[in-house]
Amino acid sequence: MKQIRLLTAVSVTALFCAATFTGTVLFMQHRFRTTEQKFQRLAALDDYIQANYYQTDIDENALMDSMLKGYVTGLGDRYSVYMTPEEYSALMTKEAGKTIGIGVTVMQNEEGYPRIIEVQENSPAEHAGLVPDDVILAVEGEDVLTAGYEESISKVRGEEGTAVRLTVRHDGEEKEFSIIRETFDMKSVFSKMLEEHIGYIQITSFRENTADQFQNALHELLAQGADAFIFDVRNNGGGLLSALEKMLDPILPEGDIATATYQGDKTQVVMKSDANEMNLPIAVLVNGNSASAAELFSASLRDFKQAKLVGTQTFGKGIMQVTTRMQDGGGLTLTVATYQTTKSDCYHGVGLTPDIVVEFPEDAETDIQLEAAVKLFE
C-alpha cells in the first residue's frame, strides 16, 4: 500500500510538472508570436521606407530613437518616456541636484530679452561678475530677439568646461563676457525666520541633495528659536521619493508612512520613519502646481502631524515612476505604481484640498497665502 501511495504521489507530481511545463511553453509560444508580429509590422514599414523615401542619407540612429520614443508614447502615459543616452545623462545630473551651466535664473523682460533675477552663489556667473538685473542681449554673437528666446537660453547651457560668449547690458553698458560652464549644485531649499519665531522653509524640488539642504535649514532655524514651521511647496513639481523620506523622517513619528501598489495589486511600504520626531506646529503652503512628491510631503505631514494645508487644490499626481538605464545607454522612465500615505487614499487625479483655501489673485500686493499660514500660529 505504501508503495502504491508513493507511486500515486509521484504520478500526480509528474502530471502537475508536465501541466506546468506545458502551460509555460504555451505562454512562451504566444508571447513569441505576439512579439514576432509586432516586429514584422516594423520590418515591413522599414523596408518600404528604405525602398521609397526620396532621400538616401537616412539617419538610422535618429530613426531608432524616434521608434523607441514612439513605442513608449503608445502607452498613453504622459509620465513614461524613452530617453536618448544624452537625455538620460542630463536627467541623472538633474536628479542628483546638479546642473551644467553658468548659474543664473532669468526671466523675459518687456523687450523680450532674458533679465537675470538670481545669480547662484559660487557659480561661474558670479565669478564672472554678473549680477541681478543684468540683461543678456546676445549669445555667441547672435541677438536673442533674432535667434529666439528659448533657443538662446538653450545655447547658454552646454558641456562642462566649454565657454559661452554673452553680450550683457551691465551697469547701463554693453559688455562681453566669456564664461566657462561648470557643474555645480542646484539650490532647492530656501529658508528664513519670520516674525514670532516661525521658521519658513521653501522647497522647490526633491533632488538627491535636497534632503541635506532641508535638514541644514531645519537645524539652523531650530537653533535660532523657531517654535513653529511653514513649509512652502507651492510650484514644486516633485522629485525623488528617497529624498522625501529623508526629509520627513526627523519630523514624523515612528512607523510606515507610505505604500505603493504595483502591477497585480502588489502593495509595498516605500517610506518609513524612525522614533525621532519633531513636536512643533506645522503649516504647508500648496497650490495647483504642487505635485507628486510635494503632495506626498503635504499629505504625510497632515496625516501624521495634523499639519494644516493652506492655499489651493494641488495638482493630483499620485503615481510613481522609476528610471532605468537601458542596454543602449539610453534611459526609460516608466510609471510603475500608485502611492499614498498609510492613513489616506491615493490622491491621483484628485489632488489635496487645503484645510484653509486661500486663492492668490494676480493683483495681490502681498503673499496672502503665507499671511494666512502665519495667522494659524497666533
Task: Return the active site residues.
Answer: 292, 303, 317
User: Comparing C-alpha atoms, which of 254, 263, 269, 241 is closest to residue 342?
Assistant: 269
Q: How far apart are CA 317 and CA 292, in angstroms?
A: 5
Q: Where are the alpha helices (DSSP H) in 137-250?
A: 144-147, 149-156, 210-223, 241-248
Q: What is the CA radius of gyration of the chain?
A: 27
How far, rounded to the nearest angstrom, does the alpha carbon of residue 130 sit from its chain's CA centroid? 29
Q: What number of residues does the chain have?
A: 378
Is residue 111 packed enough to be buried (19+ CB in 10 Å), middle (13-18) or exposed (0-12)?
A: exposed
Tell me the DSSP string of 49-114: HHHH-S-S---HHHHHHHHHHHHHHTT--TT-EEE-HHHHHHHHHHHTTEEEE--EEEEE-TTSSE
Question: 323-333 burial, b if ≥16 CB within 10 A, otherwise e?
Answer: eeeeeeebbbb
The dihedral of CA 327, 185, 297, 273: what is its sign? positive
Collapsing DSSP states into helix, strand and coil, what is residue 229?
strand
317-324: long-range contacts at Cβ-Cβ below 8 A with a sequence spacing of 24 or more?
317/79, 317/238, 317/291, 317/292, 317/348, 318/292, 318/346, 318/347, 318/348, 318/349, 319/79, 319/348, 320/241, 320/260, 320/270, 321/79, 321/80, 323/88, 323/91, 323/95
- Provide CB contacts within 8 A for 346, sequence distance 6+: 261, 318, 338, 339, 340
CB of 253 within 8 A of CB of 280? no
